Amino acid sequence: MKYLDIFNFSKYSFDGIKSYENVILYLNRHWFVMFGKFLAFGLLLIVPFVIYAVFGEAIVSMGIDNLFWLIVSIYFLFWWNSLFYAITMYLLDSWIVTDHRIIDSEQKGFFSRTVSELSLSRIQDISTHIVGPLTTILDFGDLEIQTAGAEPKFVFKEIPGPNAVKSKIMVAHNEFVSMHKGDVEVHEGIGKGLM
């Protein structure tokens, strides 16, 4: 039953995690971002039933009700795939904060994936943007990390509780800087020394 381990493996393991690294935060966009899409998919789900309610008699009188329900079931196949495509894109668009680095993983379709990484030592400034009444009530928004140098900003888009996340990243940054004087990776140094 080794293959079933994927359902109970450590909560936040990911490709390329280092043995000495601990995940502090794993973030996806706020659930409300998906809410609108779920609403649209919910409406699309009832469309065939509405069509049948309106044109049902005509469909039956033409003797094509079997064909109609076949087309509806094919429509549901597409609906099911589209729904899970949206969920897949939502789940794979994520941000990970570890006690050593920040990883931004953006999925823009099946074959377009961008993964960027930033060491905690390179953080210069963090700002949050919560704009609008709904985002204020539900407490979600953008978080921008300004890095040292001319690198582009790291943006966490529509994440829940951006201010709390900002505080946690600042604490992690301070701890990292105090433990890694001169930006030297102490863990890798110990590993190399033992070898």
**Footprint of another protein on this chain (CB under 8 A)?**
6-9, 11-15, 26, 62, 64, 66-67, 69-70, 73-74, 76-77, 80-81, 84-85, 87-88, 91-92, 94, 96, 105, 107, 110, 113
Please, which residue, 23 or 155, has the CB nearer to another protein? Answer: 23
Smallest separation, CB 28 to another protein (Å): 9
Considering only CA atoms, which of 121, 90, 118 is closest in space to residue 102?
A: 118
User: Considering beta carbons, is residue 10 or 178 the nearer one to another protein?
Assistant: 10
Closest CB to another protein among residues 7, 149: 7
What is the C-alpha separation between 146 and 149, in angstroms, rounded?
Answer: 9
Q: What is the DSSP letter of 36?
A: H
- Backbone phi, then psi, for 148, in 5-degree steps? -70, 140
Locate the DSSP E strands across 29-185: 94-98, 101-107, 113-119, 123-129, 140-147, 154-160
Q: Which is nearer to another protein, 80 or 125 (CB)?
A: 80
Least spacing, CB of residue 95 vs another protein, in Å: 10
**Shortest distance in whole angstroms from residue 187 CB to another protein:** 22
CB of 16 to another protein, least distance (A): 11
Token output for 66:
């079997």
Q: Is 128 helix (H, G, I), strand (E, B) or coil?
A: strand
Tokens of 155: 């943006």
CB of 30 to another protein, least distance (A): 15
Smaller CB separation from another protein, 6 or 184: 6
Spatial distance between the Cα atoms of 78 and 110, rounded to a whole number of angstroms: 16
